[in-house]
Structure 1
Amino acid sequence: MSVRLKLTLSYAGFLMLAGALLLAAVWVFLLRYVPEAIYTRGGIRTLKLDLVHAFFPKAAAVLAFLLMFGLLGGWILAGRMLAPLTRITNATRQAANGSLSHRIQLEGRKDEFRELADAFDTMLARLEAHVAEQQRFAANASHELRTPLAITQTLLDVARNDLDRDTGELVDRLHFVNTRAIHLTEALLLLSRADQRSFTREHVDLSLVAEEATETLLPLAEKRGLTIETSGDFAPTIGSHALLLQVTTNLVHNAIVHNLAEHGTVWVTTSVHPRTVVLAVENTGEKLSPQLVSTIVEPFQRGTGRIRDGHLGVGLGLAIVKSITLAHGGTLTLTPRRDGGLCVTVQLPAAPPQIGR
């Protein structure tokens, strides 16, 4: 049976029960005040028997009326009550068929159905945005992967058609293109891992992670004539050491690569607050507009004026940082510096105090 039919039978049954109880109360009341018999000129007359003959047919008619009225009224009331559920079901079917732009937008007072419809609309909006983001990401990833493959194909065609060509230069170029494709693939896998949040959580000190990333990238900074300054206190959080190290390494690497041509500076600081810990990476550089800063976190988005060298990256550095930060329950903030450059702040939940610390 459908829910509407079940509700209809429930309404009718309850109405019949209430009517039967009311008639039973009336019958008990009549029996209390009506004598069993009276004496008349014609003899003894049994009043209770007369009462039975008069009452029960009328009671049966009333119960029959209540049954019909309960079925009809219950069917109408159940239909009106389940109408919002029907709209939600239709919207669910449309979403299952791929139409994520449809919204229920249920009117009326705020009851359980209204809350369910609003929650469903919110879920559809987030799902539509997520699907659109995934489609853009897939298109960009396909484009980025197609480029090194196309270059490799061109180089191989040139080598096949020109057998007298020096293969040393060709091998070097193929090695460079292949290395870039490998880095892009590894970045895509890392981004997927962060999005799935499939990692082991442990106590991590952001200050130690910052020192480790800084020491790793110090030769690159010295090669470019940059200075890295690190400072901060013990900043404990819960998460993956490897992923948080990747966050810090990406931020410091970006700060080094997108800096001044000479005499630039990178500041790496950590701080602790009552409920959060903060990692901040600042760098000198060209002045950036807020519009540009708001877009460079997206996958494969690269700022203007970047130096085309071996440290360019694959356009996923900040996207990976954002994904890992969100997977750890944190927030990522990018702010252009007044004198040029960028300030990136990663805010994560602070770890609870450890026993014995």
Structure 2
Amino acid sequence: MDREPGLSVRVKLTLSYAAFSMLAGGLLLVAAWGSLLRYVPDRPARTPYGLAPDRSFVLHTFVQSAGPVLLFLLLFGLLGGWVLAGRMLAPLKRIGDATRLATNGTLSHRIQLPGRQDEFRELADAFDTMLARLEAHVAEQRRFAANASHELRTPLAISKTLLDVARSDPDHDTDEVIDRLHAVNTRAIDLVEALLLLSRAEQRSFPREPVDLSLMAEEATETLLPLAERNGVTVETSGDITPANGSPALLLQLVTNLVHNAIVHNLPEHGTVSINTSNRPETVVLTVENTGAKVTPELASILTEPFQCGTERVHTDHAGVGLGLAIVKTITQAHDGTLTLSPRPDGGMRVTVELPRAAPYAAT
């Protein structure tokens, strides 16, 4: 926004401090003069010590003395106000410098304002926290964009190679090329749809309505049951009614991703998946556990990053695009919830999603 030039805040504070000093001094002199009038006669009067001055003489003397006092108060107010205003506004200057650096793209700078807690330090600490989160978000977005570009480039490169082979070798099996192109394009479409879903969840651009997570778990289980049967995985669902507020489509996607991930990251045979919903005083909890290979805590901590995979998938026909848990994390955060991944001692993972309870069911 373009603004006309004006006085700085330091000058305004200096003038205000000087004006206040002058006003206080003037009121003090008026009060002193009012008190003095009670002891000064209207006319000169004789006393044992001589002729006493009248009010006009005292007023003249008082004004002559008050002038230098007011001048001193003015100079003192200007000088003191300038120094005090500079000391008071020094934290704002540091905050302003950090803001300009952030505007220019430097997000690693921190104010780190020293001293005891006050309003300026609360503002500086809040700004430092915002910079830290913004820096982490920008780094995550850059990493995500690089990974997404790489993932999208791969199917496009494969498609180009298949087309070049078909063009250079007219006798090549056309049906085979078409089938491979179909598989590659299907994966690219799945990846694009996952990216769009991730963007929608990050923007929180969705209406909220009452949702029962237990029904979502049942629907997701029913949808993925054929996949579980083909992979030799047993799926068990249990729990209570768990009312929450949110997007039914996004929460169904969350549960579906968790169940799908639990099925495809499982034992080659005789694997199990356990889905449970429960209630806490102020939250509802969805827990999905699966058997499988052992996962270290270090690996579990990065599985929610885009395009991260814990182990090699056994069933490559349902390999996904590497965004399943990233979408779960984003949808959870968009619903003001928490996501926890814990490796199981015997192998596999335990994933817990905790969301705020729906208002009508909140504990009292």
Of 329, 344, 360, the residue aligned with 1:353 is 360
State the partner residue of 2:113: 106
State the partner residue of 2:196: 189
Of 95, 110, 124, the residue aligned with 2:131 is 124
Letter in structure 1 aligned against 2:32: V
State the partner residue of 2:350: 343
**TM-fit CA distance, 1:158:** 1.4
What does residue range 159-238 of structure 1 map to in structure 2 within 5 Å? 159-238=166-245
State the partner residue of 2:4: none
Three-state SS of the structure 2 residue aligned to 1:353 is helix
State the partner residue of 1:84: 91
Of 22, 26, 29, the residue aligned with 2:28 is 22
Three-state SS of the structure 2 residue aligned to 1:187 is helix
Of 9, 15, 20, the residue aligned with 2:15 is 9
Letter in structure 2 aligned against 1:329: D
Letter in structure 2 aligned against 1:334: L
2:198–2:330 Cα contact (<8 Å) kept: yes
Q: Under a length normalisation based on structure 2, what TM-score does the superposition of the two structures give?
A: 0.94
Is 1:31 matched up with 2:37? Answer: yes
What does residue range 267-286 of structure 1 map to in structure 2 within 5 Å? 267-286=274-293
Letter in structure 2 aligned against 1:22: L
CA distance in 2: counterparts of 1:25 and 1:319, whole angstroms: 74
* Deviation string, structure 1 residues 129-155 (Cα, Å, up to 9, x no partner): 111111111111111111111111111
The CA RMSD over aligned residues, in Å, is: 1.7
State the partner residue of 1:253: 260
Is 1:302 matched up with 2:309? Answer: yes
**Unmatched segments (≥5 aa) in structure 1:** none
CA distance in 1: counterparts of 2:116 and 2:286, whole angstroms: 46
**TM-fit CA distance, 1:308:** 5.7
The more displaced of 3-12 and 268-277 is 268-277
CA distance in 1: counterparts of 2:139 and 2:252, whole angstroms: 29
Letter in structure 1 aligned against 2:310: G
**TM-fit CA distance, 1:353:** 2.9
CA distance in 2: counterparts of 1:329 and 1:109, whole angstroms: 32
What does residue range 41-60 of structure 1 map to in structure 2 within 5 Å? 47-60=54-67
CA distance in 2: counterparts of 1:53 and 1:262, whole angstroms: 110
Letter in structure 2 aligned against 1:243: L
Letter in structure 1 aligned against 2:15: L
**TM-fit CA distance, 1:44:** 7.8
Letter in structure 2 aligned against 1:328: H
Letter in structure 2 aligned against 1:288: V
CA distance in 2: counterparts of 1:194 and 1:158, whole angstroms: 40
**TM-fit CA distance, 1:225:** 1.6
State the partner residue of 1:152: 159
CA distance in 1: counterparts of 2:359 and 2:112, whole angstroms: 42
**TM-fit CA distance, 1:235:** 1.1
Letter in structure 1 aligned against 2:23: L
2:296–2:343 Cα contact (<8 Å) kept: yes
What does residue range 58-77 of structure 1 map to in structure 2 within 5 Å? 58-77=65-84
Q: Under a length normalisation based on structure 1, what TM-score does the superposition of the two structures give?
A: 0.96
Letter in structure 1 aligned against 2:70: L
Three-state SS of the structure 2 residue aligned to 1:70 is helix
Three-state SS of the structure 2 residue aligned to 1:104 is coil
CA distance in 2: counterparts of 1:171 and 1:132, whole angstroms: 39
CA distance in 2: counterparts of 1:66 and 1:170, whole angstroms: 93
2:94–2:111 Cα contact (<8 Å) kept: yes
Three-state SS of the structure 2 residue aligned to 1:135 is helix
Aligned residues: 354
**TM-fit CA distance, 1:46:** 5.3
**TM-fit CA distance, 1:304:** 2.4
2:293–2:311 Cα contact (<8 Å) kept: no
CA distance in 1: counterparts of 2:47 and 2:344, whole angstroms: 112
* Deviation string, structure 1 residues 277-333 (Cα, Å, up to 9, x no partner): 111111111111111111111110012232361200000000000110111111111
Letter in structure 1 aligned against 2:243: P
The more displaced of 174-183 and 307-316 is 307-316
2:243–2:284 Cα contact (<8 Å) kept: yes
2:208–2:246 Cα contact (<8 Å) kept: yes
Three-state SS of the structure 2 residue aligned to 1:301 is coil
Is 1:135 matched up with 2:142? Answer: yes
* Deviation string, structure 1 residues 46-66 (Cα, Å, up to 9, x no partner): 522221221111111111111
**Unmatched segments (≥5 aa) in structure 2:** 1-6
Three-state SS of the structure 1 residue aligned to 2:353 is strand
Relative to structure 1, the CA distance from residue 287 to residue 50 in structure 2 (aligned partners, 3 Å threshold; closer, same or farther) is same
